[in-house]
Structure 1
């Protein structure tokens, strides 16, 4: 955290200005994906650290309460955007950014997509079973059976999409996606 101490005041201000622009941009970008602006700023600040940091250090840097900082760190950790690391002589948890933006992207979206897909597949499957039970009732009118058949087809098409999405998520998690769209070197 003391990396700026060797710089002049002017150098520090110039550096902080360029960093703030990037940190603000990261925060806004993450906000678009459902991560709060403050957690985006936390990640942006951590991105520029050369050494792992404690909750207390980040709390002081950002002027956030320790509770808010803990919540933010836990969110970033759950999204696999930061790691807990061991520090010699330190009893406190230390955190560092996972610097690979490709990995961050794939982890973030894989976690979000898989969770949403699983919820939607569960809802679709339940509704499909209910439709099939309704179709088995011999007392249903032809009009109602036609609507049920149409809905069943739509639900089956949606399930086909979620199977494809599952394969896409697998391709991100395994790194196979980079065979189709290679990382820039």
Structure 2
């Protein structure tokens, strides 16, 4: 096997490794593949080029790029002399990890806080309802305590997300300095 083939094999292996890593963060492997392709090109790429390089349809590629933009992994950039949309990625692995990590947790917290808000409203109505039995009120009070604990937990996750997003994490777990 010649050097060019070996390099292509290594490149493909790295792309698959990044795709698998993306899955472990809870995102589709296609995001990892697209990220890796843009990363190794070293420049912003347009939808047509990315569709061609991945074998994905333009519609699917557009969805993947939108999803990447939502989680702050890619952004649309202007390229002088072209009417096409080009996409650029942040090459900072640390920042990308923070974006991936926090976007998942933000969604979890938001979804669960909505559920807890509904629960608290319903439990409050049971506790204030004169027609509720003592047994129902007792059970509602137990659920209310559990909701309070859940909300405390989700507040903790919010603060953890802020800890990462503020980059305070690097004061406690510093990046290794390149040699």
Same fold (TM over 0.5): yes
Deviation at 1:49, TM superposition (A): 1.1
Instruction: Verify the 8 A CA contact 2:126 2:136 in the aligned structure 1.
Output: no
Q: Find the partner of 2:85 among 81, 84, 93.
A: 93
Give the secondary-structure state (helix, strand or coil) at the position aligned to 2:75. Answer: strand
- Residue 129 in structure 1 maps to residue 125 in structure 2: no
Counterpart for residue 104 of structure 2:
112
Q: Find the partner of 1:41 among 33, 47, 50.
A: 33
TM superposition score normalised by structure 2: 0.89
Deviation at 1:52, TM superposition (A): 1.6
Counterpart for residue 76 of structure 1:
68
TM superposition score normalised by structure 1: 0.86
1:127-171 CA-partner distances (Å, limit 9, x unpaired)? 112112211223433322221111111110000011111111111
Give the secondary-structure state (helix, strand or coil) at the position aligned to 2:41. Answer: coil
- Ranges in structure 1 where 5+ consecutive residues have no aligned partner: 1-8
Deviation at 1:11, TM superposition (A): 2.8
Superposed structure 1 runs of 4+ greater than 3 Å apart: none
Counterpart for residue 145 of structure 1:
137
Counterpart for residue 15 of structure 2:
23
Deviation at 1:97, TM superposition (A): 1.9
Aligned equivalents of 1:91, 1:83: Cα separation in 2: 16
